[in-house]
Structure 1
Amino acid sequence: MIDLLIFAKQNEIYAVSRLRQEAKKAGLNYKIIRYEGMHLNLGKGKTDFFYKGHFLPEAKMAVFRVAGRGGAGEYFVPQRTALLELWQNRPMAIVNLKTYLRFPRLNKLGQHFYFAKYDLPFVASRNYAALDLLNPEKFKFPLIVKNRYGSGGQKVFKADSPLELRNLLLEDPVSMLIQPFLTTGFDYRVIVIGGKAIGAMKKTAPKGEFLTNVARGGTATKAALTTELKTLAEKAAKIFLTDYAGVDIMYDHKGQPYILEVNRGAQFEGFEESTGINVAGKLIEWLQHKQA
């Protein structure tokens, strides 16, 4: 039996490499499962999963990295969900088992419903089913327009006028959120593992830009894990039943915090490099403790 299975897409390199390093350091035998190499056979009362033509091996622990493609679609989410349904009652330690079963795809609009329900601070948002419902002349510009399934700063835009807003919503208004533009130019990423915040980094947008994502040219520096950041991040991670999450929090000029997003497949290259915190190692430790 394999100790650890690590599921990920072909193009995810850093997180998989680091998890592999830490698994090896912990003396675990592991196997990397790329979603692209999986197939399943469905029959009456039976579901079989295969990887590269062979039965998927039995394991004690599993990590499931990102399975979707943001605004591009579900990708391997249905296969991941089916496998977790099959494994949920087994004596395994699986990162984010409960959240992936409860919320197979977790989008920004859905998150905002829960932030409101649990009285957590978030950026006020508008969503329209059709463009003819929009009256942009009443809005205060600039505004942020983002796809509810976007990730890594993709499909996030700034609208400086009613015309720009209409053009951004033209193709698919129901998939877009409209928010006020917060001008601070930085936000914080807090990593939460097993319900506990382990540290924080500050993400700063390049000069003249507004996106803070490291993948979009933002810079990452170590930040103090304040009581407020810790409390908000842990509460947000808890309401979505996560074992691992990156929680993004932004402040306005008055010092009011806003939770931007809970990312269950948060990349952590910039976090490890800027903070010196061994995210992959802590995740492996959590799995071993859970499985023991």
Structure 2
Amino acid sequence: MNGLIVVNQSIGHNQYKINRFLEEGKKLGIDLNVLINNGTTAKIENGEIVLSIPKYDFVIYLDKDIYLARILERQGYRLFNKADFIKLCDDKMLTLIRCANEGWPIIKTLPGPLVYTDELTEENYHFLDHVIDELGLPLVAKRVYGSLGEGVYLIDTKDKLKEFYKVNYRSPLLFEEYISSSKGRSLRAIVIDKKVIGIIERDNPADFRSNFGTTNFSTKVEKNEKCWRFAEKISQKLDIEYAGIDFLYDKNEEPILCEINSNAFFEEFEKTTNINVAKLFLEMIINKVKHEQQ
């Protein structure tokens, strides 16, 4: 069996995942190649999709380039994860919309309106009064696209909220209630094939974002049945093949859904839990591909 690992040209933290997949793939007898997505892989010419790569049994898609993902799927490639799921998780607001109305505890969230003018008007700023009325201060302001805590801000005054909006209004935004009981703390459940394989707690004494910077650390969660069951409900409902599901702690120390990451990094998780994520991921792929090719 052969597979392709697609990664963004800004490899960054994905290097660990690539190395681990190559290592475990060799043990499992899988021939894996790596494609750095630099924009030269695909085109539409004379009304047809043209690719510069051969056919593979599967693709481990570590990029968030939805265009290439959809092109590959259109040409019959089996992606892990699928393009629809990558898009759903990449947009934090879409994730929460999909998870709403299921009876699950989710952070109170307001989507930001799109603004098409070159300059903000007083009418645009009136929305911020609504945000403060709904969420109070401090509150969390986010760009809907981002990872590792980037584009996430704790706002404690109206002036700071206006400044955030002035700088970021051209980007899709969301605004969330600040869960002070979870300051610098979160839970991450890793899911493979709709099953939770383990949970870690991430702590950051220097920032309200548990996954930001170099001061954060993690510990294995030996027992948190509520979080485990919650994560499995989500994974079953969304038919998750691979993801990291992040939870915060509410004031009663109960898990509340924060976000879902389709391309979740697992270096920290593997080193904290000694669970072989790369092997389990590849074994899931082998079983699914064999079944789907029958």
Q: TM-score range by the shorter chain?
A: 0.7 to 0.9
The answer to whether the 8 Å contact 1:153/1:216 transfers is no
Mean alpha-carbon deviation: is it higher for 138-147 or for 127-136?
Answer: 127-136
Whole-Å separation in 1 of the counterparts to 2:215 and 2:251 = 23
Say whether residues 1:247 and 2:208 are aligned partners.
no
Shift of 1:291: 2.1
Say whether residues 1:128 and 2:112 are aligned partners.
yes
Say whether residues 1:115 and 2:114 are aligned partners.
no
Change in 2 beyond 3 A, CA 1:18/1:37: farther
Whole-Å separation in 2 of the counterparts to 1:182 and 1:153 = 15
Say whether residues 1:257 and 2:255 are aligned partners.
yes
Question: Given the alignment, which residue of 211, 214, 218 partners 1:213?
Answer: 211
Say whether residues 1:77 and 2:77 are aligned partners.
no
Q: In the TM superposition, what whole-angstrom CA distance separates every residue of 1:227-261 from its partner, at most 9, and x where no partner exists?
A: 22222212223443431000001112212321101
The answer to whether the 8 Å contact 1:199/1:225 transfers is no
Whole-Å separation in 1 of the counterparts to 2:193 and 2:98 = 20
Q: Give the match's secondary structure for 1:126.
A: strand
Q: Give the match's secondary structure for 1:187.
A: strand
Q: Alignment identity in percent?
A: 24
Over the aligned positions, Cα root-mean-square deviation in angstroms equals 2.1
The answer to whether the 8 Å contact 2:128/2:161 transfers is no
The answer to whether the 8 Å contact 2:186/2:248 transfers is yes
Whole-Å separation in 2 of the counterparts to 1:9 and 1:250 = 29
The answer to whether the 8 Å contact 2:88/2:95 transfers is no
Whole-Å separation in 1 of the counterparts to 2:128 and 2:240 = 35
TM-score by length of 1: 0.85
Mean alpha-carbon deviation: is it higher for 215-224 or for 115-124?
Answer: 215-224
Which residue in the other structure is 1:203 paired with? 202
The answer to whether the 8 Å contact 2:66/2:87 transfers is yes
Which residue in the other structure is 1:71 paired with? none
Whole-Å separation in 1 of the counterparts to 2:239 and 2:67 = 19
Which residue in the other structure is 1:146 paired with? 142
Q: Give the match's secondary structure for 2:268.
A: helix
Shift of 1:134: 2.2
Which residue in the other structure is 1:46 paired with? 48
Whole-Å separation in 2 of the counterparts to 1:222 and 1:201 = 4
Question: Given the alignment, which residue of 87, 95, 115 partners 1:104?
Answer: 87
The unaligned stretches of length 5 or more in structure 1 are: 51-55, 68-75
TM-score by length of 2: 0.85
Aligned residues: 271
The unaligned stretches of length 5 or more in structure 2 are: 114-123
Amino acid at match of 1:104: K
